[in-house]
């Protein structure tokens, strides 16, 4: 999925708002397809992780904590789902967790 590669790029350069944007289209598409429901939740989690970091950068700590919790909620799905995108989901998860080491949402 080209959007996941773009997500990795923009989050890698700390463009967290754009990280949200690039995954929104596939997330909206996937959530309408029953067989892709779990993948849509993973995308939702990654979107929320990027959004939480964007909020933290803006000094909005409480909203960042709430949104980060949604990211954390969907993380376990990455380990259980069988999809061609699993490798990229893991890279995206790891990147968001690494970025949070700098921003310390919680």
pLDDT, tens digit (0-9, with 9 covering 90-100), for 41-94: 999 999 999 999 999 999 999 999 999 999 999 999 999 998 999 999 999 999
Q: Is 89 exposed, middle or buried (0-12, 13-18, 19+ CB in 10 A)?
A: buried
Mean pLDDT estimate for the chain: 96
Q: Look at residue 106 and tell me whether its pLDDT is greater than 80.
A: no
| Band (32; pLDDT cuts 50, 70, 90) | very high
- Average pLDDT on 16-42 reads 96
Whole-model pTM?
A: 0.95
- pLDDT above 70 as % of the chain: 100
pLDDT of residue 38: 94
Residue 44's Cβ-side half-sphere holds a number of Cα atoms within 13 Å equal to: 16
- Average pLDDT on 25-29 reads 96
| Band (1; pLDDT cuts 50, 70, 90) | confident
Rounded Cα distance, 29 and 27, in Å: 5
């Amino acid at each position: 999925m080209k959007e996941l590669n773009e997500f990795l790029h923009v989050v890698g350069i700390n463009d967290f708002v754009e990280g949200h944007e690039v995954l929104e289209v596939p997330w909206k598409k996937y959530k309408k397809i029953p067989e892709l429901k779990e993948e849509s939740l993973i995308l939702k989690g990654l979107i929320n992780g990027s959004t939480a970091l964007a909020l933290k950068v803006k000094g909005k700590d409480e909203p960042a904590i709430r949104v980060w919790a949604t990211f954390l909620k969907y993380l376990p799905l990455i380990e259980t789902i069988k999809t061609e995108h699993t490798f990229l989901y893991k890279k995206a998860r790891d990147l968001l967790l690494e970025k949070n080491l700098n921003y310390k949402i919680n």
